[in-house]
Chain A
């Protein structure tokens, strides 16, 4: 197993170099020039030339890439082109933190409610409540964010004046999760996970209830409550754990649409902004961050499997 992990870790830089070089090349060879965008319509070609030179944008692409990679290896992701004088790392850290808070909260709510609903559906199989939960969850999770968001904003903000309709505030301890601005996005973003996890949880619970050990527990005369908590719920949550693990990498990505609609300064919005501004250093950093997150999470999940399911062995 140690050899397996080592091998996977050794592959990591190879993947990252490939990903970063492709992104870099796409940026360089694609149309559009960051200095021109920065200067807007009134860009003077001579000034553009001067600033391009100042930033090393006139060098051959491999040289630019090596310069960049060298910087990254020394922990320097460069400065943003758009946010003049701001370090990419500073810019990104605060955005990632926002996206992670929001994503984690939405995931937590989604997983909790999804598991409860799934369990309730499975344990009530054959009654009316089961199809109600399953179809309700499916319906809610199929609604796209750009429909749910305006509806909720209309009802909760404009009609009832209960919640701010958009924005992001650092509340207690500088955390966005303690501010009312997070409530609506969390509702919207957790709908998807609720639907998905409800179905997953229901299926895995139904599988577990027919297992021999559940029958044995019943035969031993254990109270139904104990059977449900210790034998059924505990075992049926395992597949959910895998799904949650997979979603963790997505947390650093943020949401392109939801962050824009809700006015949340997260990674998703920064990525879109940076793309339009041809802010290469920021685009590169986001790409590397997301790639790393996926590689690491995948590895952790693969390792995690061996603990969760003793039948799996990594070689």
Chain B
């Protein structure tokens, strides 16, 4: 029997040698393949436009599929498959004229019927879409269809092959912005009905086709030469899904574009650094904040909330802890967002006032124990949180306990569900919010309307609600933005949050990559890019 053991060992030896011979090549994985671009990517949970809800999936879906309207690089809503549209005077009926000659990747022409199918499919409870309520719910009949009460969506009308009408329950002037989200994109019926793995071979309408998807390894997009707008210049875009150290891979020419971690930025910002010329900064449409649960003591008193606001020296935290890489937030909306108010008055840093506010509050400075919860799976507390708690201690004389909660648990605890009487379990928490569509409604209304389910802090002010309701049906966008700005100022004065900062993304882009403008939101971006090689 010993012979078998020996045989096994010799086999192992042979494998070992085979391995060492295969180690010889492997030099310089230079850039992409065939004049393509190579970038990092995340393995998307799905490529189904009706099912996706995260940015990793969105970055592929917007390249492969498309919809009625889209966002250009300045985040303006621009025609896509619809070449024009008309909004009825009551603001309820949207009539879209579809471009002629728009084809799916397989060559079939897109008609209004395809949009009807796509919207009804997304709203079909069997599809299991969890974005349909948010992005299509304004269309008449979508909620009935989602609840299984209707076969068709009554608000979708096919006038002719190239005319589509969408009828809303109520006038909603952010509706077009919502249509830029992939839930409303067009899909091919035959493709979708070909089986549960249809997204392995998606038949989209976007500037790129999916050529290959090796799960966890790579996604390869290939130019769609028949694209109805100006076709992409790149032959292909290769997304490496496996991950690794971004900076090392960039320096080793394994990727053309890479994000930079906060620890590497300082050395790259140095003009003497070789990589300095390849350094690009882009705004990011988000806001990081400390939320107060206004339903529990002591944050049911606005004076306490104001005191917690004014005792924080945000500029110092940003300069020292965040190395100046973020921008201080005074309010809710990030710069670059339509409706952003540069003249908004923040509460500012004023420790003396903060202390007196605390004394004036109904707690007279005798606060109950306070726990500050942050979503984190780390074993150590991040330095920003430490700095915040330290400042409250020195500037306000309040001891705050830090509690870290893993994301899934955090989500469950923070979420309110008024119909079931579930409250937010936290007193004080740290969180961020990023734009899904470029409209102030996506921040101000969703986060602060007393009826909104995403209003985690249960903030409620009838005056704010009134302004927000008015804004929903205001057709003049200037007036509409003004209403949101007024609401935002009240929210800031009421200290519903401590707005902390707005993020930015820091990237390295190889010099041969032309016309790559990092967008603050996920938009079809690679069709503008070319390579100088």
Which A residues fall within an 8 A CB radius of B?
31-48, 50-51, 54, 82-86, 91, 94-95, 98, 104-105, 107-109, 111-113, 115, 150, 153-154, 157-158, 161-170, 177-178, 180, 183, 186, 234, 237-238, 240-241, 244, 260-265, 269-270, 276-278, 307-308
How far apart are the CA atoms of A94 and B419 in the complex, in Å?
Answer: 43
Q: Does chain A have a CB within 8 A of B176?
A: no
Q: Say yes or no: B54 contacts A40, CB within 8 Å.
A: yes
Q: Closest approach, in angstroms, between the C-beta of A244 and any C-beta of chain B?
A: 8
Residues in B neighbouring A165, C-beta threshold 8 A: 244-245, 248-249, 252, 254
Residues in B neighbouring A265, C-beta threshold 8 A: 43, 215-217, 241-242
Q: Say yes or no: A177 contacts B22, CB within 8 Å.
A: yes
Q: Does chain A have a CB within 8 A of B161?
A: no
How far apart are the CA atoms of A176 and B43 in the complex, in Å?
Answer: 18
Q: Which residue of A lies closest to B43 (CB)?
A: A265
Which B188-244 residues have C-beta < 8 A from chain A? 196-197, 199, 214-218, 240-244
Say whether, besides A42-B134, A44-B453, A177-B19, A163 and B6 are in contact (CB < 8 Å): no
Q: Say yes or no: B217 contacts A168, CB within 8 Å.
A: yes
Q: Which residue of A lies closest to B40 (CB)?
A: A263
Q: Closest approach, in angstroms, between the C-beta of A41 and any C-beta of chain B?
A: 7
How far apart are the CA atoms of A94 and B43 in the complex, in Å?
Answer: 14
Q: List 15 A-B contacts (CB under 8 A).
A: A33-B412, A36-B411, A36-B415, A47-B133, A94-B215, A108-B12, A108-B19, A161-B28, A162-B27, A166-B245, A178-B22, A180-B25, A234-B2, A265-B215, A307-B1
Q: Of B6, B19, B407, B417, which is within 8 A of A37 by CB?
A: B407
Q: Does chain A have a CB within 8 A of B51?
A: yes
Q: Say yes or no: B214 contacts A31, CB within 8 Å.
A: no
How far apart are the CA atoms of A35 and B408 in the complex, in Å?
Answer: 10
How far apart are the CA atoms of A36 and B411 in the complex, in Å?
Answer: 7
Which B residues fall within an 8 A CB radius of A?
1-2, 4-6, 8-9, 12-13, 15-16, 19-20, 22-23, 25-29, 43, 45-46, 48, 51, 53-54, 125, 128, 130, 133-134, 146, 196-197, 199, 214-218, 240-245, 248-249, 251-254, 377, 406-409, 411-413, 415, 417, 419-420, 422, 431, 433, 436, 446, 453-454
Q: Which residue of A lies closest to B9 (CB)?
A: A237
How far apart are the CA atoms of A240 and B13 in the complex, in Å?
Answer: 13
Say whether, besides A54-B128, A161-B28, A37 and B408 are in contact (CB < 8 Å): yes
Q: Say yes or no: B53 contacts A39, CB within 8 Å.
A: yes
Residues in A neighbouring B431, C-beta threshold 8 A: 41
How far apart are the CA atoms of A95 and B217 in the complex, in Å?
Answer: 10
Residues in A neighbouring B5, C-beta threshold 8 A: 237-238, 241, 308
Residues in A neighbouring B12, C-beta threshold 8 A: 107-108, 111-112, 244
Say whether, besides A84-B45, A170-B214, A44 and B29 are in contact (CB < 8 Å): no
Q: Say yes or no: B412 contacts A44, CB within 8 Å.
A: no
Q: Say yes or no: B419 contacts A41, CB within 8 Å.
A: no
How far apart are the CA atoms of A71 and B84 in the complex, in Å?
Answer: 51
Interface hub of B20, B215, B436 (most chain A Cβ within 10 A)? B215
Q: Which residue of B lies closest to A157 (CB)?
A: B252
Q: Say yes or no: A164 contacts B252, CB within 8 Å.
A: yes
Q: Say yes or no: A41 contacts B248, CB within 8 Å.
A: no
Q: Of A108, A161, A166, A308, which is within 8 A of B244 by CB?
A: A166
Q: Say yes or no: A85 contacts B252, CB within 8 Å.
A: no
Residues in A neighbouring B28, C-beta threshold 8 A: 161
Q: Say yes or no: A264 contacts B242, CB within 8 Å.
A: yes
Q: Of A51, A166, A234, A263, which is within 8 A of B130 by CB?
A: A51
How far apart are the CA atoms of A36 and B19 in the complex, in Å?
Answer: 45
How far apart are the CA atoms of A44 and B418 in the complex, in Å?
Answer: 11
Q: Say yes or no: B53 contacts A38, CB within 8 Å.
A: yes
For the A-B complex, the count of residue pairs with Cβ-Cβ distances under 8 Å equals: 202
Q: Closest approach, in angstroms, between the C-beta of B11 and any C-beta of chain A?
A: 9
Q: Say yes or no: A39 contacts B130, CB within 8 Å.
A: yes
How far apart are the CA atoms of A161 and B419 in the complex, in Å?
Answer: 60
Residues in A neighbouring B407, C-beta threshold 8 A: 37, 276
Q: Which residue of B lies closest to A45 (CB)?
A: B417
Q: Say yes or no: B420 contacts A45, CB within 8 Å.
A: yes
Say whether, besides A162-B27, A166-B245, A265-B242, A32 and B409 are in contact (CB < 8 Å): yes
Q: Of B19, B130, B217, B436, which is within 8 A of A38 by CB?
A: B130
How far apart are the CA atoms of A170 and B19 in the complex, in Å?
Answer: 15
Q: Closest approach, in angstroms, between the C-beta of A216 and any C-beta of chain B?
A: 18
Say whether, besides A165-B252, A177-B19, A31 and B243 are in contact (CB < 8 Å): no
- 3 interchain residue pairs of minimum CB distance: A166-B244, A265-B216, A180-B26
Q: Which residue of B lies closest to A306 (CB)?
A: B1
Residues in B neighbouring A163, C-beta threshold 8 A: 26-27
Say whether, besides A108-B12, A264-B242, A164 and B43 are in contact (CB < 8 Å): no
How far apart are the CA atoms of A54 and B130 in the complex, in Å?
Answer: 12
Q: Say yes or no: A45 contacts B217, CB within 8 Å.
A: no
How far apart are the CA atoms of A183 and B245 in the complex, in Å?
Answer: 16
Interface hub of A36, A48, A108, A154 (most chain B Cβ within 10 A)? A108
Q: Say yes or no: A85 contacts B4, CB within 8 Å.
A: no
How far apart are the CA atoms of A230 and B489 in the complex, in Å?
Answer: 87
How far apart are the CA atoms of A285 and B465 in the complex, in Å?
Answer: 48
What would 13 more interface pairs be, CB under 8 Å, given A31-B409, A84-B51, A263-B240? Answer: A41-B431, A42-B454, A43-B130, A44-B130, A46-B133, A85-B196, A86-B46, A104-B15, A109-B19, A166-B248, A168-B242, A263-B244, A265-B217
Q: Closest approach, in angstroms, between the C-beta of A273 and any C-beta of chain B?
A: 9
Say whether, besides A83-B46, A105-B15, A32 and B408 are in contact (CB < 8 Å): yes
Q: Say yes or no: B408 contacts A169, CB within 8 Å.
A: no
Q: Closest approach, in angstroms, between the C-beta of B121 and any C-beta of chain A?
A: 14
Interface hub of B15, B54, B199, B419 (most chain A Cβ within 10 A)? B15
Q: Of A104, A161, A168, which is within 8 A of B27 by CB?
A: A161
Residues in B neighbouring A47, C-beta threshold 8 A: 130, 133
Q: Say yes or no: A84 contacts B25, CB within 8 Å.
A: no
Q: Say yes or no: A45 contacts B244, CB within 8 Å.
A: no
Q: Say yes or no: A54 contacts B46, CB within 8 Å.
A: no
Residues in B neighbouring A86, C-beta threshold 8 A: 46, 197
Q: Say yes or no: A44 contacts B241, CB within 8 Å.
A: no
Q: Say yes or no: B453 contacts A45, CB within 8 Å.
A: yes
Residues in B neighbouring A35, C-beta threshold 8 A: 130
Say whether, besides A32-B409, A164-B252, A234-B6, A112 and B26 are in contact (CB < 8 Å): no
How far apart are the CA atoms of A153 and B250 in the complex, in Å?
Answer: 12
Q: Closest approach, in angstroms, between the C-beta of B18 and any C-beta of chain A?
A: 8
How far apart are the CA atoms of A112 and B9 in the complex, in Å?
Answer: 8
How far apart are the CA atoms of A200 and B263 in the complex, in Å?
Answer: 42
Residues in A neighbouring B9, C-beta threshold 8 A: 111, 115, 237, 240-241
Residues in A neighbouring B29, C-beta threshold 8 A: 164, 180
Q: Say yes or no: B408 contacts A278, CB within 8 Å.
A: yes
Q: Which residue of A lies closest to B432 (CB)?
A: A41
Q: Which residue of B lies closest to A104 (CB)?
A: B15
Q: Say yes or no: B134 contacts A44, CB within 8 Å.
A: yes
